[in-house]
Amino acid sequence: MIYAFPHDELKPLTRTFTDSLSELGNLKLEHLPQDYNGSALTLIESLSSLIILGNHTEFERAVFWLSENLNFDVDARVNLFECNIRVLGGLVSAHILATDSTIRFVQGSYMNQLLILAKDLGQRFLPAFETPTSLPYAWINLKHGVMVNETTETSTSGCGSLILEMGALSRLTGDPRFESAALRALRRLWSMRSSLNLLGTTLDVETGEWIEYSSGIGAGVDSFYEYLYKAHILFGKEEYWRMFQSAYLGVQKYFRYGPWYHEADMRTGKATYWQLTSLQAFWPGLQVLVGDITAANSSHREFVHVWKKYGVLPERYLLDHQIVHPTEKYYPLRPELAESTFYLYQATKDPWYIEVGESIVKSLNLYTRVNGGFASVRDVTSMQLEDHQHSFFLAETCKYLYLLFDDTFWASRNYVFTTEGHPLPVLRDWHDRLPEAYIPSNWTYVKDDMQTRRASSMSLQLCPATMLDSWRPAPPIESACHIPDSRSDHRCLTDEDCGVDSTSCRRRSCSVSGYCGLWQFS
């Protein structure tokens, strides 16, 4: 706020700013007041954080400044995905917060200024979806649309992680074009999955063909999985649930190796790269939302182990050699580990997660804090710093750490956080209908003995813990996909007597000696 106004992001070492964002280009600011200390992109990203902190005065100043100065009619080539999650998501979320009855504006009246800006931006996104496949271009010029000879390559996240922000924009404005465009793209992307329910990393939006078949839960794919489930929560569509259920089981079957997740070929399920990436650290948080706490805790502890090994989390870590990647040693203040820590504490109230959060805070203060802010780490082995503080540091990293220690905002509300940490409320009016599995009158069937034993918690849309009957001894439900064997001693006559393995999510089979196990391998 002191050094970067009115530019996009802070350079904390030199106490200057940067406008050369490769993701976003430059947004146009007009009639800049000389006495206002603010920053365009970082300011947009920080709006909801101001509310969570209880700083309503600064939130009001930011809202009115943006409404008077931000203009999207600019000749700038921006990344659709990044602009969607950062700018559109920030504006939509802040609009909802600004209309909350607990927010009182003192200097003027809020007249939907942020929503007007969000709709203008959303309309400028729409030309990107005008492709033969309905999959959007990765880059769009805010003034001129898709440029001549624009690249046709995009990522799975890039075209499959738009539904929350654009769906919310449609619900708020009554204009269905935004949600329809995002949903068409998502459906087309899902139709391109392999027979194993896996997707690749990059594809061509003109031909609908995959470019990179190797995939995982990290960069290029991560938020696709996140948005399938969160869209189900936010909008209540069973279609999103069915997509997520199939995709989640595919991940657990083909990417998971113990507590780790490697990358694999979407066509065969064979492992391709044995590496951990910092972006994968979001996965335990998503598993908490699913109710798969055991699996979430297992993976989260491995990320914490790597964090403690280096003091921060390297961008890429080679699992097969147990060393940091030689060329991707940096840590750009990413939020994913803090995010998962927050969710796991909310689910378990285990004080160990508070200790993890405290360790993260101490590391950030020890290694990255400088006089001008917080600097990214260029090399985790030497702790050499880089002159960049990404806007997501305030939008997510600090937000999740704050909520870990003070969840007042979260405790009294029902929100879904976007992949950029912007809260969107779960509203009955936004649901097409409430899923039948969540209606209490329909819960009685869960107590049926055979039904409970022969179905996974995921197929019943229940947390694994609710599958346990205190009045009847039963094998523990260890994960969302786990189906116990018919008998507690694992004896069997046919494959039908065997369940689904909790770790690999693979179907168990009956051996010639009459015991259930993972005897068959594909």
315 has catalytic annotation:
yes
336 has catalytic annotation:
yes
CB atoms within 10 A of CB 102: 8
- How do the residues of the chain divide into helix, strand and coil, expressed in percent and rounded to 5? 45, 15, 40
The active-site residue out of 45, 179, 222, 501 is 222
User: Would you say the C-alpha torsion 223, 229, 234, 240 has a positive or negative sign?
Assistant: positive
Helices and strands: H and E segment counts in the chain: 18, 24
User: Would you say the C-alpha torsion 395, 313, 331, 269 has a positive or negative sign?
Assistant: negative
Distance of CA 162 to CAs 166, 258, 284, 399, Å? 6, 31, 21, 22
The active-site residue out of 226, 315, 339, 497 is 315
For every residue of 302-333, DSSP letters joined together read HHHHHHHHHSS--SEEETTTTEE-SS---B--
For every residue of 424-468, DSSP letters joined together read EE--GGG-SS--GGGSGGGGGGGG-HHHHHHS-TTTTT--GGGG-
9 has catalytic annotation:
no
The active-site residue out of 45, 82, 263, 420 is 82
Question: Annotation-wise, does 419 bind a ligand?
Answer: yes
Strand segments, DSSP code E, in 168-241 are 202-204, 210-212, 214-215
Q: Which two tokens stand for residue 152?
A: 């046709």
Which residue numbers are catalytic? 82, 222, 315, 336
Residues within the annotated binding site for Ca(2+)? 419
Residues within the annotated binding site? 419
